[in-house]
Copies of this chain bind each other. A is one copy, B any other.
Amino acid sequence: MSEYYIGVDLGGTYTKAGILRVENSSMDVYGFSEAPTPTDSRDMLIDSIVEAVRKMLEENDLPASACRGLGIGAPGPLNRARGMILHLPNIPGMSNLPLRDRIGDALGIPAVLENDANAAAMGEYLFGAGRDVQSMIMLTLGTGVGGGIIVDGQILHGAHDIAGEVGHIIVQPGGRLCNCGQHGCLEQYASATFLAKHAADEVRAGRKSILAKTLKKKGSIDAADVNEARKAGDALAAEAWDTAVHHLAIGCVTLERMLDCELIVLAGGLVNAGADLLDPLQAYYRELDWKLSEQMSPLAIATLGSRAGVHGAAGVAWQAFGS
């Protein structure tokens, strides 16, 4: 007999939902839906999620009563035990929002709240790049650097629900000042946004680069622009790319030594560069890594893209409420 779980991925712009079907040992996620996240009021936010799930269930002929659980991945900081969003960085007015119980009660489905980066890691672990391993670390190289750690199939939450802040491990003492107040955080080097930002800063400071033209035309540059300029032989772009990749490799070595996971999964905008990222990263990672053993935590690119969060949120519900 099949069991059903709902996954919801609450994003600052879009909210996604999907259905997880578990039958014997096989699992699949289907029935994806996506809708803009309303930011006007708390009630509108809640109602919109509830309606999106209801519509998705109807379209798939699945009664809510057939669902064993619902998982919600949401940006932090959260109080996971109480199922509350403490505040949403990109949506004002959402402080101390009891999201779990409001949505669970409205739908009549037991619900669980999880950090969105952890949910995405769980998605890749159950359904994506990590499906054949028992432990992995996921690094999402996007606006910032997010992370999630899975040990023996469980999310490592930490004592205050803030373990796995891999974007804020220090990879360059006294390095770039991070928004968090630390210097030299991994995020300041290896996020798609900051890689591009620091290249743009150098151009604005007068350094010669073909990126100056892009910056003038578009008003900003992104990581893909830096990679294109690098491939066209631009020295500044090559340096910016190399700095990012080098510091990412340092971070990977530190993660490997600390956690000894079976796999490090890379996701987010920067992995769109494919081999342009992975090949030099792999080379640095091997060069920097210890010589006492072979490499213990190989690298892999995430396979689920933006659906990792929905998959993972449903998987978290399965872990919480499954038989």
Contact = CB atoms under 8 A, between A and B. Distances in A.
Interface of A: 133-135, 149, 151, 156-166, 168-173, 178, 180-183, 246-247, 250, 253-255, 257-262, 288-293, 296-297
Contact of A162 (B161, B169, B296): B296
**Most chain B beta-carbon contacts within 10 A, residue among A160, A166, A170:** A170
A253 B158 contact: no
Contacts of A182: 253, 288-290
Nearest to A291: B181
Nearest to A180: B290
A220 to B, nearest CB: 26
Contacts of A178: 290
A91 to B, nearest CB: 18
Contacts of A290: 168, 178, 180-182
Contacts of A261: 158-159
Contact of A160 (B172, B181, B296): B296
A160 B260 contact: yes
Contacts of A291: 180-181
A250 B181 contact: no
Contacts of A163: 258-260
Contacts of A181: 289-292
Given A135-B159, A180-B292, A182-B289, A169 B247 contact: no
17 contacts: A133-B159, A151-B151, A159-B262, A159-B296, A161-B260, A162-B296, A163-B260, A164-B258, A165-B257, A165-B260, A169-B258, A170-B171, A170-B254, A170-B288, A173-B247, A181-B292, A182-B288
Contacts of A173: 171-172, 246-247, 250
A101 to B, nearest CB: 25
Nearest to A159: B262
A255 B259 CA distance: 11
Contact of A135 (B158, B258, B259): B158
A258 to B, nearest CB: 6
Contact of A159 (B134, B158, B180, B289): B134
Contacts of A156: 151, 259
A158 B254 contact: no
A319 to B, nearest CB: 15
* Cβ-closest 4 pairs across A and B: A158-B260, A181-B291, A163-B260, A180-B290
B296 A257 contact: no
Given A159-B260, A160-B260, A181-B290, 6 more contacts: A151-B151, A158-B296, A161-B260, A164-B258, A170-B253, A173-B246
